[in-house]
Amino acid sequence: MRLLNILVIAVLILSASFVYKIKFDSTLQAERVAKIRGELRRERDAIALLRAEWTKLDSPARLEALAKRHLTLKPIEPTQFDDLERLPERPAKPEAKPVTSDPIGAMLAPGDVTGTVSRPMPQGAR
């Protein structure tokens, strides 16, 4: 009987220490959560402040005042516009590229700025 009492007391002590450990860990987690919530609140406040500052800096009236102060711009005059008939002619099209057996090499030709194929590929090359 005495051995059983000692065993029960040992189990109670172990369970109490386990409960204390769980309580301590939960307290640490609660402190961490509170700290992270505080950081999150500070970050949201900083974002709101930066958005307000961006809105102030991006206002058209402010930009217009800065442009007038720092740039030497002249107003647009009606004589700056012209009719479409007075546009210069388009430049002549470049000569056709020679047909090669390498379709990828043809796409990588030095004159091809956009990287697109300027003519359809031969049927056998597909």
pLDDT given for residue 1 in this prediction: 84
Report the C-alpha gap between 50 and 65 in whole angstroms.
22
**List of the chain residues with pLDDT < 50:** 115
Query: What's the pTM value of the predicted model, to 2 decimals?
Result: 0.45
The pLDDT of residue 61 is: 93
Residue 125, C-beta contacts closer than 8 angstroms, at least 6 positions apart: 101, 103
Minimal CA–CA distance to 99: which of 73, 76, 124, 122? 122
Q: Which residues contact 103 (CB under 8 A, 6 or more apart)?
A: 117, 121, 125
